[in-house]
C-alpha cells in the first residue's frame, strides 16, 4: 500500500457543524476503501495568497493516509461534486527508507573538497592592489 497526503480547502462560509460533517465524510472514504488514516490536520481558517471563487480565506484540511490508489481517485471525485471544496491536491509520498537511501547515495556521490595546500592560500582569490576602491590608503 502507498502513502498519500491530500490537502483541500473548504469555503469559509460553512458553519462549524457543516465543516466537521464534510471532513468526517471525506475521512470515511479512506476507511471504506480499506485504507488507514494516519493523521488528520485541521489548520482552520487562513488567508489565501490569491482569491479562489471570490474567496480570500479558506478552511485548510490535510489527510495523511495509507491505502490503495483508488482512495485518492474517490476523494477527488467527491471533491469535484462538492461546491464547498475550493481546491484540492493529492501527493503520493515516498517511504522514509527510500528517501534516506537517496540522501546517502547523493552524499556518497559528492566529491570531497581538497584542503588548501599552503597555509597562506586565500582560497584562490587574487591579491588586489591598494587603492581608493579597496578602502586602503595609498602613500
Task: Name the more confident of 97 and 32.
Answer: 32
pLDDT at 120: 54
Residue-wise pLDDT for 71-128, tens only, equals: 999 999 999 999 999 999 999 998 776 667 777 778 888 765 554 555 555 555 566 6
**pLDDT score recorded for residue 60:** 97
pLDDT of residue 106: 80
The pLDDT assigned to 121 comes to: 53
Task: Return mean pLDDT, the chain.
Answer: 85
Give the Cβ contact number of residue 8 at 10 Å. Answer: 25
Q: What pTM does this model have?
A: 0.68
Give kind and range of the element (H or E) at residue 78: helix 70-81
What percentage of the chain reaches a pLDDT higher than 90? 66
Gap between the Cα atoms of 9 and 42, Å rounded: 10
- Predicted pLDDT at 111: 64
What nine digits make up the cell of 53?
A: 471563487
What residues contact residue 25 under an 8 Å CB cut-off, 6+ apart?
A: 78
Three-class DSSP category at 21: helix
Domains of the chain: 2-96 (3.30.70.60)
Confidence of residue 67 (pLDDT cuts 50, 70, 90): very high
3-state helix, strand, coil in the chain (%, to 5): 35, 35, 30
Q: At what angle do helices 16-32 and 70-81 cross, to 10 degrees?
A: 150
Query: Which residue is associated with the grid cell 490536520?
Result: 41
Average pLDDT over residues 25-50: 94
For 59, counting Cβ atoms within 10 Å of its Cβ (0-12 exposed, 13-18 middle, 19+ buried), the class is buried
Amino acid at each position: 500500500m502507498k502513502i498519500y497526503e491530500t490537502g483541500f480547502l473548504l469555503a469559509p462560509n460553512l458553519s462549524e457543524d457543516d465543516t466537521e460533517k464534510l471532513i468526517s465524510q471525506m475521512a470515511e472514504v479512506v476507511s471504506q476503501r480499506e485504507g488507514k488514516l494516519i493523521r488528520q490536520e485541521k489548520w482552520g481558517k487562513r488567508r489565501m495568497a490569491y482569491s479562489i471563487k471570490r474567496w480570500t480565506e479558506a478552511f485548510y484540511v490535510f489527510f495523511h493516509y495509507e491505502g490503495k490508489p483508488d482512495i485518492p481517485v474517490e476523494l477527488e471525485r467527491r471533491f469535484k461534486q462538492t461546491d464547498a471544496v475550493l481546491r484540492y491536491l493529492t501527493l503520493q509520498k515516498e517511504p522514509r527508507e527510500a528517501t534516506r537511501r537517496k540522501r546517502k547515495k547523493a552524499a556518497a556521490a559528492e566529491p570531497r573538497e581538497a584542503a588548501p595546500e599552503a597555509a597562506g592560500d586565500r582560497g584562490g582569490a587574487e591579491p588586489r592592489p591598494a587603492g581608493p576602491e579597496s578602502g586602503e590608503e595609498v602613500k
